[in-house]
Structure 1
Amino acid sequence: MNQQKTFPHSSVGTEVGAAPLRIAVGVLTYRRLDGIAKLLDVMTRQIRHPDRPYHLTMVIVDNDAAGSAKDTVEGFDQTGAYNLIYVIESNQGIPFATARWIQPPGTDLFCFLDDDEWPVDGWLDAMLETREKNRADCVYGPVQPVYPENPPEYFIKARVFERKKNKDGQRIGYAASNNVMFDYPLIRSWNLRFEEKMRFTGGTDYLFFNQAIRRGMQVFWADKALVYDIVPANRMTWKWVLQRQYRLGNTFAVSEVLHGNLKRRAYRAVYGATRVILGLAMLPAILISPYWGMRALTHVLRGAGMVNGILGHAYQEYKPNAAH
């Protein structure tokens, strides 16, 4: 059964004479108690600029039917730093869980963070500053990997877990749900939702923001809005890394199958095939350079994922107990 609980707080950080924005931060969690505890703790220390006041609500959606995060989340109901909403969504899958995010009335801005991440103390204000300077509809920020002790040296040198960075204030053509803020009424006006047909494939956030950008949403990069992301030891294996590269390419193609036209699907198929050919040509680099070797493998696997996705294969990375 779905459950919802709201914990009110006093309006900390509200400045007289200004109209505080109403900001909600949505976090989907599934049996990561330490991660959600760290995130909620860090969010109590967000720096507030007097010129950018806001009311903050943390919205936690627990995708575990047993409600395993309930006690952990309730431990933060008296911090006074934010309103706190806890919801259980027993129907597993990212699209179903995101549909359960409950926004307080009048929400102006909505943010996504992951339950294995935590932001710097100036994160939210940096997002607001970039939004203000650029009149942005959406703001996206950097995610820095945090490795376990004694990680495999090859993957560090290959920079396989590092994400693309941009110039502060630069307009970009993409966003994802791991460190983002967007105009909530604008998204509501377009009636955009995470695609339920991609329940276990991943990539629903890519499609969500891609659809918004096609409709005209302007996305800007906030370099100071840094978020740290834990890289578990069990992800630092060749099997996981190569499957993830294939899955990324596959979800791009599946998105086009579901919501693209014939021209876009043809482009994705040709682009994928080209990446496979390029990657195979670069593959000998794996013997001398971890970085260029991984770039070659990325081209091959993402390209193969795209081609197979266009041909009808949807890789179910997140399906429970699935044998990939």
Structure 2
Amino acid sequence: MQSTGETSTRVVVAVLTYRRPRDLAEVLPALRAQAAAVRPPARVLVVDNDPDAGAAAAVAALAATPGAELGHVHEPRPGIAAARNRALAEAAADDLLVFVDDDERPAPGWLAHLLDLHARTGAAGVVGPVVSRFEGPLDPWIADGRFFERRRLPTGTPVAVAATNNLLLDLRQVRAAGVGFDERFGLSGGSDTLFTRALVAAGLRILWCDEALVTDVVPAARATRDWVLRRALRSGNGWSRTSLELRPGLAARVRLSAAGAVRAGAGAGALLAGALVRRRPWRARGARTLARGLGMVGGAWGWTYVEYARPAARSATRAAAGRPPTSAAARR
């Protein structure tokens, strides 16, 4: 793996954060340890999306201790797309950028596995699996719906879309494609979906690395029915909106509407059947499928579900929804 051989590859691991000091305190030592184990050592960069730059002092204190290089940059513009673009900009002198979330914990060898598959394949992206760990007992509705069980694929499998919660990017290929994170999706979510779909549409490869595992620490506030259904609504909404960015037009809107309507109908049927025969898994999964389908239909006709809007930014976010994306240069 990458940790056993010397190369000249410059690697930065970017952690995007927003007011999660406890998570940073847990994840940064683990990331620094893995960054120090590869050759040459990688550096770790915290992109702080808190308007008050609340992570700065804690990162500075940790950076003063022995370990891999640790930096902090403040991105005050609201929205995860702005933070992702700041990471791209800060990696201008690097070859590889690895995104990981602040509420995730890397398994042993995680970074080395990502780097190894990239070294062997030259892929534009390498994405790994995410498994969930919960802070408390699960609502039976959540457990029966298996909503936090994510896909697992054989290593080397090409994928058409990926999130940035466990993603390596070959920056040379990304820059050549001129792809950045569309900041119109910054507070609604979906900028990583559009970004990775655009890379694949440009002919680049994103490969799965099943050994590069991270664990998502799920707080009680997210292990709820309301959160699951809102996330499904946003996911469907984002799929339609990103699809229209890649292939606009009335025909595409009609196709997405039809697909969403079919999904919503199937979800409603499963929800009803589950209620009639008292099968909680049917009810749970039917409700989520219904929510995703409704989100798809809404997104096909211009409705945007803003999941991450901060109270002071809601009106600005609505006004910005029709603004064109930033230029490729600015997004890098």
Q: Deviations over 1:210-265 (max 9, x none)?
A: 11111112111111111011111111222221111111100111223344222433
Q: Residues 145-164 of structure 1: matches in 2 within 5 Å?
A: 145-164=132-151
C-alpha displacement of 1:97? 1.8
Aligned ranges for residues 26-175 of structure 1 at < 5 Å? 26-46=14-34, 53-101=39-87, 102-104=89-91, 106-175=93-162
Return the letter of the residue paired with 2:304. A
In 1: Cα distance, 2:138 partner to 2:129 partner: 22
Is the contact between residue 63 and residue 92 of structure 1 (CA under 8 Å) also seen in structure 2?
Answer: yes
Equivalent position of 1:239 in the other structure? 226
Deviates more, 1:158-167 or 1:250-259: 250-259
* Alpha-carbon distance in 2 for matches of 1:63, 1:224: 30
1:147-226, aligned counterparts within 5 Å?
A: 147-226=134-213
Residue identity (%): 32
CA offset digits 1:82-107 (Å, max 9, x no partner) = 22221111121112222222435541
Task: Report the CA distance between 1:79 and its aligned residue.
Answer: 4.2
Counterparts of 1:273-284 in structure 2, within 5 Å, are: 273-283=261-271, 284=273
Question: Could you tell me the TM-score, scaled by structure 2's length?
Answer: 0.85
Give the distance between the partners of 2:126 and 2:264, measured in 1 at CA.
32
Paired position in structure 1 for 2:287 = 297
- For 1:76 and 1:312, locate their aligned partners in 2 and report how far apart those are by CA, in whole Å: 45
Q: Which has the larger displacement, 224-233 or 88-97?
A: 88-97
Deviation at 1:47, TM superposition (A): 7.8
The amino acid of 1:29's aligned partner reads T
**C-alpha deviation, 1:48, in angstroms:** 7.3
- Note if 1:20 corresponds to 2:8: yes
| Residues 32 and 44, structure 2, Cα contact 8 Å, conserved in 1 | no
Give the secondary-structure state (helix, strand or coil) at the position aligned to 1:251.
helix
The structure 2 residue matched to 1:315, chosen from 296, 305, 309, is 305
| Cα distance in 2 between the residues matched to 1:75 and 1:140 | 31
TM-score of the two chains, using structure 1 as the length reference = 0.87
Deviates more, 1:111-120 or 1:81-90: 81-90
Assess if the C-alpha contact under 8 Å between 2:12 and 2:43 holds in 1. Answer: yes
**Cα distance change, pair 199–47 in 1 and its aligned pair in 2 (3 A):** closer
Shift of 1:45: 2.4
Contact kept? 1:187, 1:212, Cα under 8 Å = yes
- Partner in structure 2 of residue 267 of structure 1: 255
SS at match of 1:124: helix
Partner SS for 1:100: helix
Establish whether residue 285 from structure 1 lines up as the match of residue 271 from structure 2.
Answer: no
User: Are the counterparts in 2 of residues 43 and 121 from structure 1 also a CA contact under 8 Å?
Assistant: no
SS in 1 for 2:86: coil
Query: Contact conserved, 2:3 with 2:112, CA < 8 A, in 1?
Result: no
Cα distance in structure 2, aligned partners of 1:289 and 1:44: 46
Gaps of 5+ in 2: 316-332
Whether the 8 Å CA contact 1:25–1:110 is kept in 2: the answer is yes
**Relative to structure 1, is the Cα distance of residues 220 and 114 closer, same or farther in structure 2, using a 3 angstrom cutoff?**
same
| Contact 2:141-2:284 within 8 A present in 1 as well | no
Q: Deviations over 1:33-69 (max 9, x none)?
A: 01112111111322877xx623312121111121111
Question: What SS is found at the alignment partner of 1:217?
Answer: coil
Of Structure 1 and Structure 2, the greater helix share is in: 2
Q: Partners in 1 of 2:110 and 2:159 — Cα distance?
A: 19
Structure-2 separation of matches of 1:250 and 1:126: 33
Task: Give a deviation string over 1:169-211, Cα, whole Å, max 9, x none.
Answer: 2222221100010111111112211112123101111111111
Q: Could you list the runs of 5+ residues in structure 1 that have no partner in the other structure?
A: 1-12
Report the CA distance between 1:289 and its aligned residue.
Answer: 4.0
Letter in 2 for 1:285: G
1:45–1:121 Cα contact (<8 Å) kept? no
Higher mean C-alpha displacement, 277-286 vs 110-119? 277-286
Contact persistence 2:124–2:174 (CA under 8 A): no
Write the letter of the residue equivalent to 1:306.
M
